[in-house]
Structure 1
Amino acid sequence: MKSQEIRSQFLEFFKSKSHTIVPSAPMVLKDDPTLMFVNSGMAPFKEYFLGNATPKNNRIADTQKCLRVSGKHNDLEEVGYDTYHHTLFEMLGNWSFGDYFKEEAIAWAWELLTEVFKIDKDILYVTVFEGSDDDDNLAMDTEAYDIWKKFIAEDRILKGNKKDNFWEMGEQGPCGPCSEIHVDIRSAEEKAKVDGKSLVNMDHPQVVEIWNLVFMQYNRKADGSLHTLPNKHIDTGMGFERLCMVLQNVTSNYDTDVFTPIIREIEAITNSTYGTFEKTDVAIRVIADHLRAVAFSIADGQLPSNTGAGYVIRRILRRAIRYGFTFLDTKKPFIYKLVHTLTKQMGEAFPELVQENNLISNVIKEEEASFLRTLDQGLILLDTIISESNGKTIEGSKAFELYDTFGFPIDLTALILRERGLELDEKGFEAALKEQKDRSRSATKVSTGDWIILAEDDVEEFVGYDTLETNVKITRYRKVKSKKDGELYQLVFNLTPFYPEGGGQVGDKGYLEASNGEVTYIIDTKKESNLIIHFAKNLPRNPEGDFKAIVDEKQRNRSASNHTATHLLHQALRNILGTHVTQKGSMVHSRSLRFDFSHFSKVTDEELRQVEDFVNARIQENLELEERRAIPYQQAIDEGAIALFGEKYGDAVRAIKFGKSMELCGGTHVPATGKIWHFIITSESAVASGIRRIEAITGDAAKNYFIDRSTAFAEVQKSLNNAQDPVKAVNSLQEENNVLQKQVAQLLKDKAKNIKGDLKNEISEVHGVNFLAKELDLDANGMKDLAFELGGEVDNLFLLFGSKQEGKALLTCYIDKEIVKSKNLNAGQIVRELGKHIQGGGGGQPFFATAGGKNPDGIEKALEAVKSYLN
């Protein structure tokens, strides 16, 4: 059975059980501060389990793309070494929100596996929660046990501990016992030797969990206590790749048609063979797996970067590149070539791969080229570390610097050291790594208390499109502590005019005013699990009182102006550069705007001028806002609205239109484009391959820009003696400066030639080497030219020059190449060590190197110390 058919049969089965089939949510999360990525099938439905929203149907089924590479669920280092862990995986799931419970969930799971998919009952085991005698004092899940007895022999129902059979969303939130279904696909001979039940949950590659049925019936409080939920829910997750392994009668996920087309392509490109050597197989599995994770992340809007979720994606891709580099001997980009195969394999189920195919390929190709250059640089730096080491063991702290600063993989460092008969101080490396992680955790750790419920309110209505102030009640609050922000309070109102951060737009600021005049400042607004959360430094003295919520009007209007400008900018780019342009990210706040878009070449100055003119023409037209807040999604698309990949849209959407610009958007906007006043592009740059970034300003910032430029122009004109044509005057000055610079350069050359003869007379012989150490009044280029001229005329020369230039110290070291070989000297190492005297550092090649420092008084000591290298 093909994987596409397996996926379809699962969804059709639950459709027949009155479930609504929903598409996979974007894997990259944008409004959940507790997660970077969807790491389980339930993550997109958290708001339903928490009671913060009501689903349109209490029964849902889907296949959800998930990513597990950090935090509690971290499978990254397992990937490639076994045959069933993955970074990205599909989670098939069926969900009940307060509808059916254990009886139906278990019966349907058994029916699907044994009657629809025809899995032999004799290779299945199930587990149930055995209870716990810890602080929770939970009883065994006898209800699930008794239900399972109707379908499977009791000796195949195993009791599992809290670690394996009690599922929790996190330290707080909905949780409950779970029942896992495991499959034993070992050969008959192996089964005769070892009973399968002893291998359940023991990480055996052919005795694996394929489905987990979670019975959510408790809520974990901040103090660790459990409380029964008012409504019981079902949350199930079945590993699609593992299910395919079972149904396709293979013993590895990588032998299913989910992966085999990609593996065949890797073999063809790298001239390797899967199934021959273990190290080669691991590398191929790593690349096949990581390709999927990176491709889906980029399709959902997350580009590789140096921070946050982007850093995770870059780390995954670099792991794949490094395995290809080390074990498949690939020194050129090749992973990007696999994107076409992946799209062909999975594009029907996940159309975002088709839509973003070119972008994914280009981004991966650029990342590959960049990291391969990093590996080359890292090898040079590692050579330096090895050459400076006195013993057989390389310090862990130096290896960590290579890893942390330059991104050079530690296992590649260890491999190279072993090949050269050296060892890595692994404990020192681990200590440095732990210290960094501890600092990071300490800086980001957040302690969150339980919500204090003041009033039950099913819907927290946002009224900020129509008003910037309104009367509100606080319905719940909680205290949060972090090292970064200190102690804050999170407040939720029954309704709010504060816009929560989203769609690239920052959250509103403002204040709450109590009836007695007390003011509580709102410093930020965010959205979490369908709740609009207001951050305050303090809690009102009477949180149960009546308040007026007031948004900072000036900040909101500036943000609205910039947000509308991004829509006009998007329209301008598509008109001028082409309809291939799509938004890939934005940041809108009161000061300026940032807009990322797909385009495969630098935007020329002329094109930027046309874009500016286009936007400003729309501003001058004073186009009025046409807003529809509850238009059906498909109708909006049919009418020409632009929807963004990576965004999660409901059945009804909000459409924003200014003239011919129409986009789906939840942000705030000006009532008419004339309010923007003016639009100015301040920069254009590359973010990644195929992604460009424009930064711009509007409104008050644009006015200040013109004022500052006008003031600066007046100062320049004044400096030019009020020249009538300042541009002509500046050009004249530049020409004069160029002439003078050439004259100065020639004078310095002549000066160097004049002193060359004197310096030859100062050369002395030290241990068979012609030696010279001298302080000169020359710049770096002058010393370099002089050093090479002397080196060309004097054999067997070792010299060090020092110079004081503009309050700083310079050192220049030249060593004849024959001396480098015969005496094992290295100019780069020498200037690094001598650089300590001038409070600086440097480097270069073995025969020529330079150093700079901030202590000119140390030059004399450096010149005295250099002679010791010839002892």
Structure 2
Amino acid sequence: MKSQEIRKEFLEFFKSKSHSIVPSAPMVIKDDPTLMFTNAGMNQFKEFFLGNSTPKDTRVTDTQKCLRVSGKHNDLEEVGHDTYHHTMFEMLGNWSFGDYFKKEAIQWAWELLTEVFKIDPDKLYVSVFEGSDDADNLGLDTEALELWKEIVPENRIIYGNKKDNFWEMGDQGPCGPCSEIHIDIRSDEEKAKVPGRELVNMDHPQVVEIWNLVFMQYNRKANGDLEELPAKHIDTGMGFERLCMVLQDKKSNYDTDVFTPLISEIEKITGNKYGEAEDANIAMRVIADHVRAVAFSIADGQLPSNTGAGYVIRRILRRAIRYGFTFLNSKEPFIYHLVPVLSKQMGSAFPELRSQSGLIENVIREEEASFLRTLDQGLVLLENLMKESADKKISGEKAFELYDTYGFPIDLTALILRENGYELDEKGFGEELKKQKDRSRKATQVSAGDWNELTNVEEDSFIGYDNLEANVKIARYREVESKKKGKMYQVVLDKTPFYPEGGGQVGDTGILMSSEGEVIDVLDTKKENNQIVHFVKKMPERAEGTFEAIVDRTSRSKTASNHTATHLLHQALRKILGTHVEQKGSMVQSDYLRFDFSHFSKLSQDELEQVEDFVNARIREQIELDEKRNLSYKEAVDQGAIALFGEKYGDSVRAIRFGESMELCGGTHVGNTADIWYFKITGESAVASGIRRIEAITGEAAMNFFEEQSEVLGKIRDILKNPKDPAKAISSLQEENANLKKQVESLLKDKAKNLKSDLKQEIREINGVNLLAKKVDLDAGGIKDLCFQLGDELENLVLVFGTEQNGKALLSCYISRNLVKEKDLNAGNIVRELGKHIQGGGGGQPFFATAGGKNPAGLDKALSEVTQFIK
């Protein structure tokens, strides 16, 4: 079966069992602070397992795009070296939310594998949880065991420990025992040597887990205790790539049609043949895997960057580039050429790949070009480290600096050192890396207690579109502590007017006022697993009381103004630049807005003015807000609403229209565009290849901006003695200044010319070297010109000049090129040593280098020591 048929067959099977087929959630997670990426099929359903939401359907099935490169589930280093681990992979799954349980999950899994997919039952092993004698004191999962006994012989059932057969969402939350289904695809000859059951969970490439059936029946509390869940759930996950390997009778995931088109294209581009050399094989597997992870991430709105999730994506891509550079001899960007192949192959199942393919190609191409330049620079730096090493050993600290500061991969450092007979202090590098990870973990570490439940949360708890104040009760609360913010409390209200951070808009702030008059500041509002969480520094004295929730009206009004302006800006950009423009991110705060969008070039001043004029024209038109709630996604899109890629939309959506601008949006907006007052662009820049950013202000911030500009203009007029045309007066001053500069340069050249004749007389010969070390009254440029003029006229020359400029000291050293070789003199080494006297440092090339320092008084001492280097 082709991979597309396998995917379809799986979904159709569970559809026949009354499951609703739901689309994959975005791979990049936006409302769960515990995860950067979707790493399991159940992530998008956490709110149902936690009891924060009621599912529309109690039985669902899907194929979920997942990424495992950080945290507990991290397969990155195995990828490419074995044949069955991946960064990005598809997880086929079926779920029951309080509906069926172990019996149906086990029976249907077996039916699908053996009757529909026709897998030989004799190749399959199943596992059950054997229980634990630790603090949890859990017994054998006898229910699952008895169900499996009805299906398979007992010698096919394996008893698994807590590590292998007890699944947990995290340190807290729903969990439970699981049954794994493993397959042994070895030859009969190999099976005769070692029984398959002995290789289960032993990382054998042909004895692999293909399906995990998780029975969610407990909740893990903050203190580690387990409690029974009121409703029991089923959560299953089957590796799509591994299933394809089995059904296509292959020994490697990379030999299936999931990967072969990509590997064939890599062969064609690089001229390497898959299967001939193990290093090249690994490189091709790495690249074929990693391009999928990077492409899907970009399609979901996560660009490579230097922080957070963007850093993870950049790291994956750089790993792929590095393997191509080292083992496929690819010194030019080529990975972006794989995007059309991937889009053709998976675009029908994941249409975002097709619609975003141009952007994905541009971003990958630019990242490749940038990192290849980094590799070139790193090779030079590494070469210098080797030259400076007397014992042919590079310290872990130096290697870590190369890795951390310059982005040079440690495995490439180790490879090059080995090839040149040098040793790497790997232990020292590991220590430096651990220090960094510890710092990072401590900075972001958050510990949370158990929720204290007081009352129920209303079904539609957010009432903030229509109300900025409401009488509320605290439904639940818990204590949290982070390194960054210290001890705080998270509070969930039975209903709330506070807008939670989302869609680029910041969360509301305000107060909770008790009936006794106690005031609790709400510092932020976020959404976590579909519940609205309010952050407060202290809990009220009586949490069970009634409170008045009051949103900061001023901040909300300014934020709403900026949010509406982003919609009008989006419309303006599509109108003026073209419909290829798509929103790629935004940040909406009370004092400014930031809008990222797809576009291939920098906006001209004329285009920026057109955009400003368009938005301000809509403001002057005083367009009323037309808001539609509870539309189906299809209904809203059919009416012309723009949906954003990478956003997860629910069963019902909200559409915001201002005239011809219509978007799906959950944020807050003004009632009339006139409320924005004025829109002013303050900046335009590049974010990545094909992505531009506009920053702007509205309302009061715009008014303050114009007042500041007016004040600056007034000062300029005063300085210029109130000319009729300040711009003309400044232009005239600039022209006059340019002429004066030319005159000064001419005078300095004459001065240097006269000085050169005098200096020639002072040059003295020492050990066959013509030497002069002297203070001169010239700037850095003048000194450099003087050095090279004297160098052209005299042989065997060493010059060291010192000067003081604006309270700072400068040393310049010139050495005739023949002396660099013959006398082993190095200008960079000389200025670095002499620079200590002026409390500074520097460097440069062997024949010319400079050093700067903050101690001009040390110049005489520095110059007096020059003779030592020659002697």
Q: TM-score, normalised by structure 1?
A: 0.99
The amino acid of 2:406's aligned partner reads: F
Partners of 1:387 and 1:867 in 2: how far apart?
Answer: 26
One-letter amino acid matched to 2:365: K
> CA shift at 1:765, angstroms?
2.4
Matched, 1:394 2:394: yes
> 1:579 & 1:91 partners in 2: Cα distance?
34
How many Å apart are 1:843 and its aligned residue? 2.3
Q: Shift in Å at residue 764 of structure 1?
A: 2.1
Name the residue aligned to 2:328: 328
What is the alpha-carbon distance in structure 1 between the residues aligned to residue 834 and residue 21 of structure 2? 70
Paired position in structure 2 for 1:613: 613
Structure 1 stretch displaced more, 284-293 or 790-799: 790-799
CA pair 458-471 structure 1, distance change in 2 beyond 3 A: closer
Give runs of aligned pairs for residues 751-830 of structure 1, distance below 5 A.
751-830=751-830
Q: Distance between the aligned counterparts of 2:77 and 2:770, measured in 1?
A: 56
The answer to whether the 8 A contact 1:455-1:475 is kept is yes
1:826 Cα deviation after fit: 2.7
Identical residues among aligned pairs (%): 72
After superposition, residues 644-683 of structure 1 pair within 5 angstroms as: 644-683=644-683
SS at match of 1:174: strand
Written as runs of structure 1 = structure 2, the 5 A alignment for 1:729-768 is: 729-768=729-768
Per-residue CA deviation, residues 220-268 of structure 1 (Å, 9 max, x unaligned), is: 0000000000010000000000000000001000000000000000000
Q: Which residue identity is paired with 1:67?
A: L
**Aligned-partner Cα distance in 1 for 2:861–2:179:** 75
Q: Which moved more, 1:826-835 or 1:143-152?
A: 826-835
CA deviation after TM superposition for structure 1 residue 460, in Å: 5.5
Distance, in Å, in 2 between the alignment partners of 1:231 and 1:652 is 25
Contact 2:23 2:62 in 1 (8 A): yes
Contact 1:460 1:532 (C-alpha < 8 Å) held by counterparts: no
Q: CA deviation at 1:24?
A: 0.4
For 1:551 and 1:851, how far apart are their aligned partners in 2? 57
Pairwise mapping of residues 497-646 of structure 1 onto structure 2 (< 5 A)?
497-646=497-646
CA contact (8 A) 2:467 2:497 kept: yes
- Which residue identity does 1:612 align to in structure 2? E
C-alpha RMSD of the superposition:
1.1
Q: 2:713 maps to which residue?
A: 713
Q: Name the CA shift for 1:834/1:179 in 2 (closer, same or farther; >3 Å).
A: farther
Structure 2 unmatched ranges of 5 or more: none
In structure 1, distance between residues paired with 2:167 and 2:215: 8
Report the Cα distance in structure 2 between the residues aligned to 1:415 and 1:865, rounded to whole angstroms: 42
Name the SS for the 2:405 alignment partner. helix
Q: CA deviation at 1:29?
A: 0.5
Q: 1:178 aligns to what?
A: 178
Aligned residue runs from structure 1 range 40-439, under 5 A: 40-439=40-439
Separation of aligned partners in 1, 2:580 and 2:833: 54
The CA distance in 1 between the partners of 2:11 and 2:783, in whole Å, is 75
Residues 373-397 of structure 1 deviation map (CA, whole Å, 9 limit, x = unaligned): 1111112222222223232111211
1:650-691 deviation digits (Å, cap 9, x = unpaired): 221100000000000000000000000000001111100000
Residues 769 and 163 of structure 1: CA distance in aligned 2, closer, same or farther (over 3 Å): same
Gaps of 5+ in 1: none
Answer yes or no: is the 8 Å Cα contact 1:460–1:494 preserved in 2: no
Q: Distance in 2 between matches of 1:78 and 1:829?
A: 44
Deviation at 1:870, TM superposition (A): 2.9
Preserved contact between residue 773 and residue 863 of structure 2 (Cα < 8 Å)? yes
Indicate if the aligned counterparts of 1:216 and 1:235 stay in contact, CA closer than 8 A: yes
| 1-structure distance, mates of 2:280, 2:772 | 55
Worse-matched range after superposition: 542-551 or 391-400: 391-400
Count of equivalent residues: 871
Contact 1:460 1:496 in 2 (8 A): no
Kept in 1, the 8 Å contact 2:458–2:495? The answer is no
Q: Distance in 2 between matches of 1:778 and 1:399?
A: 40
Task: Name the CA distance, whole Å, in 1 between partners of 2:350 and 2:180.
Answer: 28
Deviation at 1:18, TM superposition (A): 0.3
Asked if the contact 1:20/1:61 (under 8 Å) is kept, the reply is yes
The 5 Å alignment of 1:439-518 reads 439-457=439-457, 459=459, 461-518=461-518
Name the aligned partner's letter for residue 651 of structure 2: D
Q: 1:861 Cα shift?
A: 3.3
Distance 1:858 1:30 in 2: 57
Query: For the Cα contact (< 8 Å) 2:681–2:694, is it kept in 1?
Result: yes
Residue type at the aligned position of 2:444: T
* TM-aligned CA distance change 1:746 to 1:664, over 3 Å: same
Q: Give per-residue Cα distances to partners, 1:375-424, cap 9 Å, x unaligned.
A: 11112222222223232111211111111111111111111212221111
Identify if the C-alpha distance between structure 1 residues 266 and 793 changes in structure 2 by more than 3 Å, giving closer, same or farther. Answer: same
One-letter amino acid of the structure 2 residue matched with residue 347 of structure 1: G
Q: Tell me, in whole angstroms, the C-alpha distance in 1 between the residues paired with 2:406 and 2:138.
A: 49
Superposed CA deviations along residues 152-184 of structure 1, whole A, max 9, x for unmatched, are 110110011111110000000000001110001
**Contact 1:184-1:208 at 8 Å conserved across structures:** yes
Query: C-alpha distance in 2, partners of 1:520/1:832?
Result: 59
Amino acid at match of 1:582: E
Q: Structure 1 residues 324 and 866, CA, compared in 2 at 3 Å: closer, same or farther?
A: farther
Q: 2:476 touches 2:492 (CA, 8 Å); kept in 1?
A: yes
Cα 1:383–1:800 change in 2 (3 A) is farther
CA drift at 1:458: 5.2
Q: SS state of the match for residue 412, structure 2? A: helix
Per-residue deviation at 1:814? Answer: 1.1
How far apart in 2 are the matches of 1:832 and 1:180?
64
Q: Deviations over 1:344-364 (max 9, x none)?
A: 100000000010010000110
Letter in structure 2 aligned against 1:348 = S
Deviations 1:590-628, CA, capped at 9 Å, x for gaps: 010000000001111101100000000000001000001
Q: What whole-Å deviation, never above 9, does each CA across 1:419-453 have from its counterpart, x for those lacking one?
A: 22111111221111111111111111111111111
Looking at structure 2, the residues matched to 406 and 853 of structure 1 have their Cα atoms a distance apart, in angstroms, of 26
In structure 1, how many angstroms separate the alpha carbons of the residues matched to 2:161 and 2:273? 42
* Amino acid paired to 2:620: Q
> Following the alignment from structure 1 to structure 2, what is the Cα–Cα distance between the partners of residues 374 and 862?
36
Distance 1:339 1:308 in 2: 24
Question: Contact between 1:460 and 1:493, CA under 8 Å: does it hold in 2?
Answer: no
Distance 1:826 1:681 in 2: 51
Paired residues of 1:771 and 1:798 also in contact (CA < 8 A): yes
Q: 1:340 to 1:627 in 2, by over 3 A?
A: same
- Contact 1:503 1:667 (8 Å CA) reproduced: yes
The structural deviation recorded for 1:581 is 0.4
Displacement of 1:837:
3.0
How far 1:867 sits from its partner (Å)?
3.4
Q: What is the DSSP-based 3-state SS (H/G/I as helix, E as strand, rest coil) of the residue aligned with 2:302?
A: coil
Distance 1:243 1:855 in 2: 70
What TM-score does the superposition give when structure 2 sets the normalisation length?
Answer: 0.99
Q: How far apart are the structure 2 equivalents of 1:132 and 1:547? A: 46
Per-residue deviation, 1:828: 2.7
- Which is worse superposed, 406-415 or 82-91? 406-415
Q: Which moved more, 1:174-183 or 1:747-756?
A: 747-756
Kindly provide the amino acid, as one letter, of the partner of residue 149 in structure 1. K
Q: Secondary structure at the match of 1:155?
A: helix
